[in-house]
Amino acid sequence: MSENENKIATMEVDTAFLKSKRGIVKVTEMVALFVVFVCFAVGSSPKYIAATALEFLIISLLLLLYFLKLNKRLTFFFWPLVDVFNSVFAAVYLTVLSLMALTSYTATGVLVGGIVCFMSAGLLCVDSFTLFRNITFNKPRNENQNQVNE
């Protein structure tokens, strides 16, 4: 019984994820969205602050999910596909948000926030593309990798 308690009590940490390409992209997205949040807060435009804060929170939760290997324990969702959908919708939404901020800026902070927001939308596009390429839909992993290499 003590073995089961020890397995439940321990939490695995995947430090290799932070060093991988996906981990670096996720951390870069978080940093860019935090910069956007600070720029919009300095420019005092609350309509842009909420969207960037929400996306920062979602990306940090997904990063925490992968970092603590909770995606292996919580199997009721297909987490890579959830991550792809989040990245695609966030990229579209942040592109629209950045265009709105760039066309109607009143302070320099909003202008800089719009530019960095547009760059973070580009990062989200890269993230969704790389994730979508790695997802296998009912194919064995080695079969999919052989098709990519050919």
pLDDT of residue 8: 58
Greatest Cα-to-Cα distance within the chain, rounded to the nearest angstrom: 64
Phi and psi, residue 123, nearest 5°: -65, -40
pLDDT of residue 57: 95
Phi and psi, residue 116, nearest 5°: -70, -30
Statement: residue 109 has pLDDT above 50: yes
DSSP class of residue 139? S
Which whole-number Å values give the CA distances from 41 to 6, 12, 18, 38, 130, in the listed order? 45, 36, 28, 5, 31
Is residue 148 very low, low, confident or very high in pLDDT (cuts 50, 70, 90)? very low
pLDDT digits (tens, 9 = 90+) for 1-53: 455 555 555 777 878 888 888 889 999 999 999 999 999 999 877 888 998 99
